[in-house]
Structure 1
Amino acid sequence: MSSARYPVMLFAAGFGTRMGALTRTRPKPLIEVAGRPLIDHALDLARAVEPPRIVANTHYLAPMLAKHLEPLDVIVSDEQPDILDTGGGLRLAQPLLGSNTVFTMNTDAVWSGPNPLALLAEHWDPGRMDALLICVPVAQTVGYSGQGDFSCDDEGRLHRGAGLVYGGAQIVKLDGLAEIPERSFSLNLLWNRIGAEGRLFGLAYPGRWCDVGHPGGIAPAEELLAHV
């Protein structure tokens, strides 16, 4: 519902501990899936929505990731000396993003179906929403064994529950970040505040999604991409 173009924040600062030996010498976003680093798959989706700028945060093995991103026209937000989690990292990067409304995207998942950022832009209604999250029905996930993160009411508002997995992509207004006192914090704190005001919404993804946060996710992700 909104025709505006928003910057994209890519979360790429984590230690990737679930990847075990694969992240001893390289950051998780540089692990290859289908012959390409994970972050490059995310960059393809980000560029397709023609954002005014793309920012990626770094921390673990930051120089290696910064070297990869430098020729790709990605602005780096380096979190040193402390990693700040998703909420703190987004707040630190806000001046680089240059907007009060942004896309954010995790870099450890692959998608088979429509571009999730394009879907978010199509359904974003800033008059009603402070955040719109792409959520994947559990049955459409690959390699996921949980019950989900959210449930959704008839009007599209999200509530904590089961059935829908947060896919790692959203549009969100950043106003509420300044009100959170912690320096390092999860975006869950911001969502809780937005949800309490009835302005946290979800959009069900119509395709399939695979978490690549652990070594066992690489082969299923490559198989998923082979059938795109």
Structure 2
Amino acid sequence: MIEVYSWPTPNGHKVHIMLEECGLPYRAHPVDIGAGDQFKPEFLAISPNNKIPAMTDPDGPDGRPYSLFESGAILLYLAGKTGKLMPADTRGRYDVLQWLMFQMGGVGPMLGQAHHFRIYAPQKIEYAVERYTNEARRLYGVMDKRLAKSTYLAGPEYSIADIAVFPWLRSWKNQGIDWNDYPHLKGWFDEIGQRPAVQRGVEVLADLRKPLMDDKARQTLFGKDQYQRRD
């Protein structure tokens, strides 16, 4: 049984969805990032960057337990373990990898900043809100253009690239997005959202999530607690 240490965020849901799509048995352990669970020594032992998700596979590549962190790495690991959602041919594999890197280097960080400055920042900084909202719209435009000529992000087949991107777009309203501007992307989003494994994946731990309202949670996520050096 795979042990997943996670929280119902886009990066957490990427792994939940992948596990559901692969049909692997797993147990989800909540790591309440608003309460500071990500700084506990037992979590840092498998996720030194104090970020969710992290995962332990008791049946690792050499038959021994194996732990890893970073959601993109976990998607690649699970694709390799199961032989699913990653093309076998070299060209197809790199098509998937480039769109996975697009999510990890662009969609996640930029939409995360859009969320922060539009929703969570204690002061509304006009320059930051405009910068990251515009970047969110640019990235949506890149994906919309791609999906005008491709069924899925990396080509004709559903893959880990689609799994990686989908959870980040569920908060489109908070990112300042009007779906009318991205009809091809909206069609893809609606189709992915109808997949039974995706619907199950986004419900994992979802009942535990609560609005980020109190000062303690804000301090934990965005204040000095986040930047404290840990041995």
Which of the pair is proportionally richer in helix?
2
User: Normalising by the residue count of structure 2, what TM-score does the alignment of the two structures yield?
Assistant: 0.26
User: Normalising by the residue count of structure 1, what TM-score does the alignment of the two structures yield?
Assistant: 0.27
